[in-house]
A and B are shown apart, each in its own frame.
Chain A
Amino acid sequence: MNYTVDPGLYALGAPDKQSPVLVTANFKLSFDRLRSAFGGRNAWILVLDTKGINVWCAAGKGTFGTDELTGRLKASGLEKIVSHRHLILPQLSAPGVAAHAVKRACGFSVAYGPIRAGDLSEFMDRGMKATPEMRTKRFPLAERAVLVPMEFIPALKWMAVLLPLFLVLGGVGFSGTFRGDITTHGIQAAFMLTGGLLAGAVLTPLLLPWLPGRAFAAKGAVAGLITGCIVIFLSGGAPDTAAIQAESSGMLLISVALAAYLAMNFTGASDYTSLSGVRREMQWAAPLLIAGATLGLILWTAARFL
């Protein structure tokens, strides 16, 4: 599918020399949302070449940047088309654009509009003033829910390997027959892993504000502990022999590590994490996850000999 729009100058409605100039990325969703939000009004839309990437990401990469803006502006001949010298940029393009540098380079002043295109009409009606709400990025449940497939579907690729592997390994070495052990030990292991997947890729994004801890790995570990305990409870309650204890706690460690890892990956999709923060989190979380999963694997294997 093609998500790009050709860069350049577009007319929305019937704009004239005094009409406002809105700047956006050449990602189709950005462009379409801007058009529909501003529908019924006249404006010029200057579409930058951001390689089909949305405003926020393109600004972070610098493709929605000062150079692209000033270059595209000159190429479009905008200075002959409008009589004023003002541009309205989405606020989230600011990591890539230096307003004072644009002014210096081409004489156009930059005003940062609201974060959401949906607030643009109100912003204009208020005399180009944004309320604090328009300026602040939040991460509500609906936005987190939309991102769940972005975590869940790539994880399925790994699960397609892990689940059959643990199912078959569950049939090896325990006291019963291969087939019998698969339906008990193997199935339990598979359910534990599935619990970890759901905890890290679904529950963590949805329950983000309510899970304890600030680090995503901690939130994921708590969610994984909950799903793991539910699976253990459903598969026969409290483990009574040393062998079952080792088996259950081993798989619990593995599924908690899996959940924490998947949760940590959600830092990329979330919009309030900093690079320094993610680095600090990973410094302690990554070794802990590897140690936990290794210990879990050792316990799960040792359970066969207890």
Chain B
Amino acid sequence: MANTLTYLKNVTTLALDADLCVGCGMCTVVCPRAVLSLKNGKVEIVERDACMECGACAQNCPTRALKVDAGVGCAAAVINTALGRSGDECCCVVDANGKTGPVCGPGCC
């Protein structure tokens, strides 16, 4: 994909069961990384490595054809979890409207 950054290869937990797909296309609407594409009435994973496991596609799939272990890719949260701290409170600071704001609580990255 042009002009977008990609993270590590072959790591996403995104999985598609094409037999369950009814081709509604909702996943292609909600994916913010253009990972999925509708072809011949079925969804296909076209940019697997662009997936950031946000979980929007699986959440909005009415037939549970898509599965992903959703989470936030944040080193501070992983460290906190590993240390047994309650603060996997990590949130990104990118607002839904595309802008940023200091909205994180204590223990946040």
Give me the interface of A with B, judged by CB distance under 8 Å.
3, 24-25, 27, 29-30, 33-34, 37, 52-57, 59-61, 90-100, 112, 115-118, 130, 132, 135-139, 143, 146-147, 150, 208-209, 214-216, 264-265, 267-282
Q: Which residue of A lies closest to B72 (CB)?
A: A60
Give me the interface of B with A, judged by CB distance under 8 Å.
1, 3-9, 11-13, 26, 29-34, 50-57, 59-60, 62, 69-79, 90-104, 108-109
Which of B73, B98, B108 is in CB contact (< 8 Å) with A277?
A: B73
Q: Which residue of A lies closest to B31 (CB)?
A: A135
Interface centre among B3, B53, B94, B108 (most CB of A within 10 A): B94
Q: B75 contacts which chain A residues (CB < 8 A)?
A: 216, 264-265, 267-268, 278, 281-282
Q: Is the CB of B90 within 8 A of A136?
A: no
Q: Is the CB of A137 within 8 A of B33?
A: yes
Which of A92, A117, A208, A276 is in CB contact (< 8 Å) with B5?
A: A208
Q: Is the CB of A272 within 8 A of B11?
A: no
Q: A136 contacts which chain B residues (CB < 8 A)?
A: 1, 4, 32-34
Q: A116 contacts which chain B residues (CB < 8 A)?
A: 97-98
For the complex, give the distance between the alpha carbons of A270 and B6 in Å. Answer: 11
Question: How many Å from the CB of A8 to the closest CB on chain B?
Answer: 19
Q: Is the CB of B29 within 8 A of A281?
A: no
The 10 closest A-B pairs by CB, nearest first: A55-B96, A268-B74, A273-B73, A275-B71, A268-B109, A94-B56, A94-B30, A57-B91, A116-B98, A92-B96
